[in-house]
Amino acid sequence: MLNDNHGKIYIAWDSKFDLGIPVIDNQHKKLVNLCNNLYEALMKNKAEGIPTWQSSLTDTLRECVDYVKTHFHDEEVIMQAAGYVNYASHKRAHEDFIYKILETTREFDKATFTTAFQFVRFLYDWILRHIAHEDKLYVKRIQEYYRERQSQK
Ligand code: FEO
């Protein structure tokens, strides 16, 4: 949910985004928190008029992008182990998103505040839509997979 907190926009995690798979839900929460950190760092740099703001955001941006990759990798391992039928198209959606964000981050030194805010908004929108639609589709299969593993112990 996009909230406005005294001019500060951030995502407050809503339980409606929970998929009921703790390892994945925790990663999704962390991902949203890292986007929030990026947004807050951007706001702070803008408010303080820091001239080299693009480079001062490098670490926060990298942390966010790296965690997107980590999460996608971990999720793909689980989907594949569970034999999820839409694994290939889901992986492709991940790869397309990574391609897009790497394109932007490569050119980040040329970003304006407007394009940087648009980028963060794009991250929020894509991630939340992806969780609500594409990720939701694998839940049944992965939960079955965990139950099958449990019953084999
Ligand atoms: Fe949770 Fe498919 O990303």
Q: Map the chain to HEC letters.
A: CEEEECCEEEECCCHHHCCCCHHHHHHHHHHHHHHHHHHHHHHHHHHHCCCCHHHHCHHHHHHHHHHHHHHHHHHHHHHHHCCCCCHHHHHHHHHHHHHHHHHHHHCHHHCCHHHHHHHHHHHHHHHHHHHHHHHHHHHHHHHHHHHHHHHCC
pLDDT at 2 exceeding the cut of 70? no
Is any atom of ligand 1 closer than 6 Å to the C-beta of 130? yes
Report the atom number in ligand 1 closest to the C-alpha of 94: 2
Give the residue, by CA position, lying nearest to ligand 1 atom 2. 135
pLDDT tens digits for 29-86?
999 999 999 999 999 999 899 889 999 999 999 999 999 999 999 999 999 999 999 9
Q: What pTM, to 2 d.p., does this model score?
A: 0.92
CA 49 to ligand 1 centroid distance, Å? 35
